[in-house]
Structure formats: structure tokens, C-alpha cells
Structure 1
């Protein structure tokens, strides 16, 4: 029985790249998309004109009564933040470690501060 050893190949990607390079320069796919959209716009304009109306172009024309979400606008007004005061009971840590060791076993549990409910900020 004989064993055939295949020679290594670059792979499918390199084959595709070689074919693409052999075709030469091609326009980007976005050009085809823009041409398609241009044809659709021209067709809809023609249909609207024959029906005696104008093609809708704006959002208000396409969806009357639609309300947009408000736009976040940056402001030049002075924005001041009040510094939060640390909780007087826990000192701003939000709680404390509680030691419940017994019989040689060390147990420590985190106990949330009741005054600030674990936020560490004075309420």
C-alpha cells in the first residue's frame, strides 16, 4: 500500500485574493448601493408624480404625529455637585466586619450599616 503525500496549499482565502487581483480594480460595493437607492428614489418620484402627489422625504411626512426622544444638549451653565458626607455610624464604609468565632473556627461576616443602608453616605 502506498501513501500519497499532498503538497501544502495556501488555502481558499489566497485563491479568492488571487482571483480578485486578476480582475483588477473594482468599485466599492457602496457605489452599487448608492446606484440602487438612486433608482428606487427615481422610481418612487415617478410613481408619486403620476398619482398627483409628492414623494415623502422627511420623518414628519412619513410618520405624522411621531415624537422623537429629546436630544441631549451640552450646556454652558455651571454645574456644581454637593459633596456627600460620610455616614457617622460606619465612617463611610457602608458597614463593618463582625467576628463570630467559636470553638477554634474563625468566622467573619460583613454587617451592613443600618443608618445608611450600606451606601456609606449620610442619609
Structure 2
């Protein structure tokens, strides 16, 4: 099962570089930890320097999983890494503006996921 996490870690590294280049703002911490557990109350959650993800959303094996399942892994990681900029580095003043953090993370996550997979599939389906 260890090799099943390789794709997610590869994507996370590419996404960090993508966001740093896109925003011209380096990721300010020395590392980003990703913790996965078989059961979490949420699908995924970001904290400053730590992303927690339900295990089934992080595992991908090219021989066993579908392209759709690979896209789910990419989407989850892209959204949570985007929160390092929208929600952690820059955050709203009060909870009633939390939707902005989620909105920006969703939009940028889709844009970044398309970059990682060299496609425009997701950005063609964003509704505002």
C-alpha cells in the first residue's frame, strides 16, 4: 500500500510549486505535512502546515484505480494545498466571510489540478 500514496505526494509537491509561482509568494513554512487516516469525521482538512485527509482519498494505484479516482486524489490535494494561501496565509476577518476562503480554494484548486494533469477539464465546469 505504500506505493499507493506516491501519486498524492507527487501531486502535493507539484501543487506547492504551482501556487508559489502563480502567486509569486513562497510557501512560508519549512514543510507541509500530510496525514492520512482510515476514518476521519471530515473528508479533508487543512491547518497551517498540516493537511489531514481520509485515507481512501489519498490512495491511487494505476493498475487498480480508475482515472476518476485519480482525479479525486488530485482535486482533494489541490483544494487543501490552496488553503495554505487562502485561509492560512490570508484569512478573512470574521466567520461570515468564510465562503471566500472556500470559494478561492475551490477555484484555484480546480485551476491547479488542471495544470497538474495538463488539461482544462475542470475549469470548463466551474459555476459561479
Above 0.5 in TM-score?
A: no
More helix per residue = 2
Q: TM-score, normalised by structure 2?
A: 0.22
Q: TM-score, normalised by structure 1?
A: 0.22
Q: Specify the structure having the higher radius of gyration (Cα).
A: 1
